[in-house]
Structure 1
Amino acid sequence: MEFSVFRLMIMSCGLLVLSMSLYPWFWSIGIHLHSAFTGSYVPGHHSVLLINSPTEQVAKDIGRAIMERRLAASINILARTFTMYYWKGKIEDGNEILMLVKTKTSMIKQVVDYVRSVHPYANPEVLSFRVEDGSLPYMKWMDEAIQDD
């Protein structure tokens, strides 16, 4: 009898560890099923990142590499933005290029890690905003365009 209880506890722990390791996969499946059955969007499943760059060429190079890695569905590069910021105790200003990177929220860490590894700034701006609502067909297209989690 004691052996059965011990065996049941071991199997339960194993099932718990397995389910935790598959959590991203379960979450992704749950998002797809929710959208399919309800026809509605699950808020927060996608995000938009703002990334600044010193030049248009740097933005294009970083953007293309992000796309080649299938970490984003789409990137907009907005040429010539005027920026003001505090740096070492004083106000600085200059022209920069702003990128809007549209991706899955689960891919943010990979995008940020990549950008930080190649960006010429010591402290590049990388900010993310969760998408709370949007066009369901567009969101489905994003899911297809971005690599699986």
Structure 2
Amino acid sequence: MSEYIVVVTTVDSEDVAKAIARKLVEQHLAACVHLFPIQSVYRWEGKQEEDNEWRLEAKTRRELYPRVEKAIVESHPYSCAQVTALPIVAGKKEYLDWIEAETR
């Protein structure tokens, strides 16, 4: 299993995205969080929906996932928030060392 992960979530506004990103970095739960405006098409409560959202990708260590998830959910506006983790299967050593140092 990979030691490093990218935690992904989506929110409804840039302000919420920035607040969550700042929280994760300030608490050393993520070394970096990328923010992207996206468009989502999904089914919710039996209806097809389309919305503009913000995607967050937080670079962190796998062992921190429970704390990262908790921090995201505490600030998340959705009742059923997407919070998922993707493994980093390879990476430049200096970059991975930086994630390690910033999330201690």
What TM-score, normalized to structure 2? 0.95
Aligned residue type for 2:79: A
Could you list the per-position Cα deviations for residues 121-145 of structure 1 after superposition, in whole angstroms to 9, with x for gaps in the alignment?
A: 1111111101111111100111011
Q: Does 2:84 align with 1:133?
A: no
Superposed CA RMSD: 1.0
1: CA distance, partners of 2:64 / 2:3: 10
2:55 counterpart residue number: 98
Report the alpha carbon displacement of residue 86 of structure 1 after superposing the two structures with TM.
1.0
- Asked whether 1:111 is paired with 2:68, we answer yes
Cα distance between partner residues in 2 of 1:138 and 1:114: 24
Q: Which amino acid aligns with 2:99?
A: M
**Equivalent residue for 2:30, pick from 43, 61, 72:** 72
SS of the residue 2:77 aligns to: coil
Corresponding residue number in structure 1 for 2:39? 82
| In structure 1, C-alpha distance between the alignment counterparts of 2:74 and 2:94, rounded to whole Å | 33
Task: Mark the runs of 5 or more structure 1 residues left unpaired by the alignment.
Answer: 1-42
How do residues 1-149 of structure 1 correspond to structure 2 at under 5 angstroms? Answer: 44-79=2-37, 81-147=38-104
Q: Between the two proteins, what is the percent identity of the paired residues?
A: 27
CA offsets 1:75-130 (integer angstroms, 9 cap, x no match): 10112x01011101121111000011000011111010111112111111111101
TM-superposed CA distance for 1:66, in Å, is 0.8
CA distance in 1 between counterparts of 2:39 and 2:83 reads: 17
* Structure possessing the higher radius of gyration over alpha carbons: 1
- Secondary structure in 1 matching 2:73: helix
Gaps of 5+ in 2: none
Deviation of 1:50 after TM superposition, in Å, equals 1.0
What is the DSSP-based 3-state SS (H/G/I as helix, E as strand, rest coil) of the residue aligned with 1:123? coil
Amino acid at match of 2:44: W
Looking at both structures, which has the greater relative contact order when contacts are Cα pairs under 8 Å and sequence separation is at least 6?
2
